[in-house]
Amino acid sequence: MPQPQPVVRYLALLPVEIWALCWSLCSLRQQRRLSVVCTLFRSITLPFLFKHLSFNAGVDFFVFCMDKEARVCRLRSMHRIAVRLEKLTESPLAFAPFVQSWTVALGYQEKYKLDSIGLSEALHTRIFQTFGKVLPLCHNLSTVHLKRLKIDTMLLSTVLSLPKLQHLTIDTRELTIVDTGGVLPKHTMLRSLDLSHDCFLRGVFAEIDLPDLAHLTLRYVKEQELFFQHLERFSRLETLTVNSIQNSDFPVIKGNSLPILRALTGPSTMIISLAPNRPITRASIGSSSIESLSQTCAALSRSSVPLRALDLPYVHFLPRLLPWQSNAHGINSMHEFLTEIITLLPELTELILKLPNPRMGRCGGCFSGIDIDSEPLGVDELPILCDDTAFDDLPEHEISDDEGDASALGTNIAITIDTELKVESWTHQSFLNQISPSSLPLPRNIEVVHLQASWVDTPLPLAAQERALESLITAYPTLREIQLALPNSTWRRTGRSESVWRVVSNEG
């Protein structure tokens, strides 16, 4: 009688690192299958599955505008969020240590009621309280993004007390932090801070020492002078972003403050004040007039090091009706504008340019409003929510395998093109007319150029992209990355000898 052959454990023959690398190349569909049938796959990928978490349990105007069926689905989704969070508290050592970043939307506006008996309010309260219990267990959490929620001192104290917290974003419409008895730490090791309003910086964060803060973002600044008084205490600040400032007047900043500031994003007035005599290598300028842009670039030219990267806003040039007419600054075309910038900033290697729409000013239609079903869900319309069966009837989008497998290979091209160029869309032709080297001068050492055009709604035909690439590469051989109108039309120089151009996605 033949002896039974020993079972070969193929999974154990290769190191875990090899399996992890192979599985990283699988599609989402294949990974779902593997997680069901392979315990080794599940054990290896569990830390990656919990590394980045996010949930949205907010109820606002847009959720309120849903039809009744969508509201029921929203209530079920909020219930599943609550159950998942409570599972984390039941097995804190199994899952919570894996969490490294968390994005949470918890906003609830009482005037937008989804039901008549307060079920949505109760679910929101349950989620908020459970989230507060889970947070201290996530001792490896380094990134927290709080969106659209009413923040209290207890929650903020818990967040700021996380031992490895380095990046914090508070994006909320509430301009006050409710005092619920939490004791805020006097010292934190935050490296980046993103706030929706400068009142937080002048208020709750004014008493907190932030010695390692390197990146600061403010969505809105109301009190410029008070804001910049606080700004001067961040001696290690490297990047500053301000999306909007209430007034155009700008305070004078001490020349010895912010000594290592290297990147600025914001309105022209802020950059003009901060750029001179500081090591600014990157700048992104908010919407501005041609004259203000020229003044801003002149200020950037006076930084202590050459500017390398510049992101310009949309610039619209009014046509000259007569040869002697010009605007107040004497610049009438993109060619003249870029020529002046190149003269001021000759060492630029990266340029983001938003090309103007040649048909700007056309009526784009009208807004007819939203039909709102303002009646809350009645008792008979509410779902029956049971924790034990919360995941028995998942919506199709959470379990569907209907997805396209992304190709692992990009599109490689040869630069010599003989195909006849046919461009049917006027937007495509207008874009191509603007980016020819004769009408679009670039710095001599340019390496990265993004030619953005939000008014181009579809990618250019491949032949048109290839022809544009050929002309730009011929004129500027140092180029290694080019974006043509849209993010999904971004090309990069690749290959061992960097002789092949490959189209990549905006994430690639």
Q: Residue 378 falls within a domain, yes or no? A: no
Model pLDDT, residue 247: 74
How high is the pLDDT of residue 142?
96
Domain presence at residue 328: no
Query: Which residue range(s) make up the domain with 21?
Result: 10-49
- Measured CA to CA, the distance from residue 491 to residue 460 in angstroms comes to 13
The string of pLDDT tens digits covering residues 482-498 is 999 888 889 999 876 66
pLDDT higher than threshold 70 for residue 374: no
CA atoms within 13 A of residue 130's CA, in its CB half-sphere: 23
Report yes or no on 209 lying in a domain. no
Q: What is the pLDDT of residue 287?
A: 82
Region 444-471: mean pLDDT is 90
Q: What is the mean pLDDT of residues 361-370?
A: 45
pLDDT tens sequence across 88-135: 888 767 788 889 999 998 876 666 677 766 888 888 889 999 999 999
Residue 321: pLDDT band (50, 70, 90) is very low
Average pLDDT over residues 337-350: 94
Q: What is the pLDDT of residue 448?
A: 96
pLDDT band, residue 396 (cuts 50/70/90)? low
pLDDT at 203: 85
pLDDT confidence bin for 282, thresholds 50/70/90: very high
The verdict on residue 268 lying in a domain is: no
Average pLDDT over residues 332-346: 88
Q: What is the mean pLDDT of residues 404-409?
A: 37
Q: How confident is the model at residue 403 (pLDDT cuts 50, 70, 90)?
A: very low
Please report the pLDDT score of residue 323 as a whole number. 43
- Is 447 domain-assigned? yes
Q: How many CA atoms lie within 13 A of 30 on its CB side?
A: 9
Q: Tell me the pLDDT tens digit for each residue of 168-215.
A: 999 987 767 777 777 889 889 999 999 999 888 888 888 899 999 999
- Give residue 420's pLDDT band: very low, low, confident or very high (50, 70, 90): very low
Look at residue 491 and tell me if it is in a domain: yes
Q: Is the pLDDT of residue 446 over 80?
A: yes
How many other C-beta atoms lie within 10 A of the C-beta of residue 503? 19
Query: Model-level pTM greater than 0.85?
Result: no
d(CA 233, CA 43): 46
Please give the tally of structural domains in the chain.
Answer: 2
Any domain includes 33: yes
- Let me know if residue 16 belongs to a domain: yes
Portion of the chain with pLDDT greater than 70, in percent: 78
Among 288, 291, 328, residue whose Cα is nearest residue 312: 288
Q: Categorize the per-residue pLDDT at 390 as very low, low, confident or very high, splitting at 50, 70 and 90.
A: confident
Which of 341, 330, 334 has its CA nearest to residue 307? 341
pLDDT band at 361 (very low <50, low <70, confident <90, very high): very low
Predicted pLDDT of residue 248: 67
Pick the more confident residue, 19 or 403: 19
Inter-residue contact 300 to 275 (CB < 8 Å): yes
For residue 191, what pLDDT is reported? 97
Give the pLDDT score at 234: 92
Task: Report how far apart the first and last C-alpha atoms of the chain are (Å, whole number).
Answer: 59
Q: In sequence order, what E strands does 15-131 have?
A: 52-56, 101-105
pLDDT at 388 (0 to 100): 82
The answer for 449, left when phi > 0, alpha when psi is -120 to 50, beta otherwise, is beta
Q: Which pairs from 61-64 meet CB under 8 Å and 24+ separation? A: 61/109, 61/112, 63/112, 63/114, 64/112, 64/113, 64/114, 64/372, 64/374
Q: Please give the average per-residue pLDDT across 245-269, as a whole number.
A: 85
Show Cβ contacts of residue 228 under 8 Å, excluding neighbours closer than 6 positions.
Answer: 251, 253
pLDDT tens-digit series, residues 44-97: 777 777 888 888 887 766 666 677 787 888 888 889 999 989 988 887 677 888
